[in-house]
Chain A
Amino acid sequence: MGKPGDKLKKVRLTTPVSAEAIAKLEIGSVVTLDGCIYTGREGVYKRILDDGTTPPVDLAALSNVNFHCSPAAAVRDDGSYRVGAVTATASFRFAKWLPRWFEVSGARVIIGKGGMSAEDYKNIFVPAGAVYLTTVGYGTGALLGRGIKHVKAAHWLDDLGIAQAMWVFEVENFGPFLVESDLQGNSLFEQANAQIATGLKALYAGTRPAILSRYGETDERSDELI
């Protein structure tokens, strides 16, 4: 008998990730990537979608993988880039930009931390033919850093800073990621939440609500706060 976790399905994808490959992804599979990806988060979204600035490159031709990330990087004195660790940032904050982002950028794979709500998958991702991959543990910055073979560009570095700039990376065996949403709009996290929720009542037995309650409070522990 193998160790827990050994039997997870493993998939290696090349960018741009084809519609067929995306359609085949099952939640809970482990993914690694080869090819090209770019980072984009609130700074980039605001600039392109809210301010109407033209993207610095033809995104659709570049890649269809958008990573919600800011690398631990520095600019060397000669102007080249040094990337150390790479870690995703929590994606749920970016939901409001995504419907238009999918249109404008042609992105079909979003990589980030923590996923989005099932509602967002149903309303935004599925119609766009897009899926969500989550980084693992979230702290696997060194492993992901290893997968970056080359920094192709760092757009808007001066205006947006290291964290918010659009980094374009050439990657190899980049991962691991877990498939969090599929084209049916299923969510791995919500599946886990639902399973865990069944035990919460028993867990709370013997505790009691605080004497002073708070506004806006939910007492339904199966609720999420995002």
Chain B
Amino acid sequence: MIAIDIIQRAAEDLMAKAAIEIPDDYLAGVEDMANTERGDLSAFVLRAMLENYVAAKEDRRAMCADTGVPRWYVKIGNDARMEGGPVALESTLRRATAKATHDVPLRPNRVHPLWRTDHNNNVGINAPEIEYSFEPDANWIDVTAVHKGGLFGTDYRMLFPGDGVEGIKRFFLDTLVAFGKRGLACQPAIVGIGLGGSKDTCMTLGKQAACLRVVGNRNPDPKIAALEEELKELGNSIGMGAMGFVGSSMVVDCHIEAGYTHTGGMPMSVHCFCLSSRRAVARIHADGRVETRTDPQWFTPYMRRETVEWESPETSLKKSG
């Protein structure tokens, strides 16, 4: 049984960590780009960002004052039990959000869409989002905090099978060109693409692809992995860099997630995880140990399963052997 106050403390810590410490994989990606960027203004911007990440860690202050929209991803091991059940877990994550908003401090960004009511704590109706997934043969809980920035840099479109890969490329370029101008998307970004699913699944998968996979990670389907590489190159050949200045730094990496979709359609979503690609993860073990990391390991083989019943890769290997 995992004690709820352990989850609470871990969650508060994650809110601060995500806001202050740029993840290593993304940092290395931006450093590479800063070394190869030829555009004067774009290179200057990248170097200022690298200085900013250092300043944030040194001063223990948020790297960007725009908190974006803080949200949670929770992966629950099938054998994990937590004190107070899921309702206590949700209260804890809401409490941690409110507390960290005051303590870090983070900008209270969340308001009612019509009345603009602001509780000054990033908590409200349907906020913060909490998304769940599950993992077989595990007794831990993985909690991931993401502060997802951006009013800009995301789009959705219903494409059709006839649009093909050419259509996918065009919509990808459209989104980057449109939101890359003046750097509205705060690029270079980790670009997540959702392909297929229902409309909502398509959006969800794309956002998760952007926020929950690390730079350098590839989709296990080799053809999708190749498309990820190709789109990354394509995005970096627009001629545009950081802040929309002339350059080559748009896409730190591209991640695609697929979901089975309506036989007539091929919906697509594009999401930019910005210059403040903020994520932090804690694994909370059954014995109360807490391990933190920056790779959410969200898309497990179980998450991407294709068949009716789940068989772990090891079991199926044993059977066939």
- Measured CB to CB, the residues of A under 8 A from B are 3-5, 7-8, 28, 30, 69-74, 82, 84-87, 89-90, 114-115, 134, 136-146, 161-163, 176, 178, 188-189, 192-193, 195-196, 199-200, 203-204, 206-212, 214, 221, 224-226
Q: How far is the CB of A37 from chain B (nearest CB, A)?
A: 15
Which A residues are in CB contact (< 8 Å) with B118?
Answer: 161-163
Of the candidate stretches B82-90, B182-190, B292-300, B311-319, the one touching chain A is B182-190
Supposing A72-B65, A85-B61, A137-B275 touch, asked if A143 and B48 sit within 8 A by C-beta, the answer is yes
**Who on chain B is nearest to A3 by CB?**
B43
Q: Mark B71-102, 1 if CB is under 8 A from A, else 0.
A: 00000000000000000000000000000011
CB distance from A148 to the nearest CB of B (A): 11
What CA separation (Å) do A14 and B120 show in the bound complex?
33
The residue from B45, B59, B170, B245 contacting A207, defined by CB atoms under 8 A apart? B170
Whether B40 contacts A72 by the Cβ 8 Å rule is no
Asked if B305 is at the interface of the complex by the 8 Å CB criterion, the answer is no
Segment of B151-159, B199-207, B281-289 in the binding face:
B151-159
Q: Which residues of B contact A70 (CB under 8 A)?
A: 65-66, 107
Contacts of B181 in A (CB 8 A): 189, 193, 224-225
A169 to chain B minimum Cβ distance, whole angstroms, is 12
B38 and chain A: residue at smallest CB distance? A4
CA separation between A138 and B43, bound complex, in Å? 14
The reply to whether A4 and B37 contact each other, CB–CB distance below 8 Å, is yes
Q: Would you give the shortest CB distance from A27 to chain B, in whole angstroms?
A: 10
Contacts of A30 in B (CB 8 A): 44
The answer to whether B217 has its CB under 8 Å from any CB of chain A is no
List, in ascending order, chain A residues with CB within 8 A of B276's CB.
Answer: 139, 141
Q: Chain B residue with minimal CB distance to A140?
A: B52
A8-B44, A138-B183, A210-B167 known; 12 other A-B pairs, CB under 8 Å?
A7-B40, A74-B103, A136-B44, A136-B48, A140-B49, A142-B63, A144-B65, A163-B108, A192-B244, A207-B167, A208-B170, A210-B157
CB atoms of B44 and A5 under 8 A apart: yes
Is there an interface contact between B66 and A89, defined as CB atoms closer than 8 Å? yes
> How many angstroms from the CA of A60 to the CA of B180 in the assembled complex?
36
Min distance, Cβ B127 to any Cβ of chain A, angstroms: 15
B238 at the interface (CB under 8 A from A): yes
| A210→B44 contact, CB < 8 A | no
Contacts of A142 in B (CB 8 A): 52-53, 55-56, 59, 61-64
A8 close to B62 (CB less than 8 A): no
Interface residues of B in 216-250 (CB under 8 A from A): 234, 237-240, 242-246
Residues on A with C-beta less than 8 A from B158 are 212
Counting CB contacts under 8 A, is B134 at the interface?
no
Instruction: Please name the residue on chain A nearest to B56 by beta carbon.
Output: A142
* B152-180 near A? 1/0 per residue, CB < 8 Å: 10000111101100110111011001100
Q: Which residues of B contact A225 (CB under 8 A)?
A: 178, 181
B292 smallest CB distance to A (angstroms): 21
A216 to chain B, nearest CB (A): 13
Q: How many pairs of A and B residues are in contact by the CB < 8 Å rule? A: 215
Docked CA distance A136–B287 (Å)? 46
B198 at the interface (CB under 8 A from A): no
Is B67 among interface residues, defined by CB-CB distance under 8 A? yes
Structural contact, A85 and B102, CB atoms closer than 8 A: no
Q: Of A7, A71, A72, A137, which contacts B49 at CB under 8 A?
A: A137
Distance (Å) between the CB of B159 and the closest chain A CB? 6
Q: Which of A8, A84, A199, A214 is the one whose CB lies under 8 Å from B40?
A: A8
Cβ contact of B65, chosen from A71, A203, A224, cutoff 8 A: A71
Given A3-B43, A7-B40, A138-B183: A85 touches B65 (CB 8 Å cut-off) = yes
Cβ-defined contact, B275 with A138, below 8 A = yes
Q: Is the CB of B39 closer than 8 A to any CB of chain A?
A: yes
A189: B residues at CB distance < 8 A: 181-182, 244
**Can you list 30 A-B contacts with CB-CB less than 8 angstroms, sorted by A residue number?**
A4-B44, A5-B43, A30-B44, A71-B65, A114-B182, A137-B48, A138-B243, A139-B66, A139-B274, A140-B64, A141-B56, A141-B62, A141-B63, A142-B61, A142-B63, A143-B51, A145-B55, A161-B111, A162-B120, A188-B41, A193-B244, A195-B246, A199-B239, A200-B238, A204-B170, A207-B166, A208-B163, A210-B170, A211-B162, A225-B178
B105 at the interface (CB under 8 A from A): yes
Chain B 27-61 interface residues, beta-carbon cutoff 8 Å to A: 37-49, 51-53, 55-56, 59, 61
The digit string for B123-165, where 1 denotes a CB below 8 A from any CB of A, is 0000000000000000000000000010110000111101100
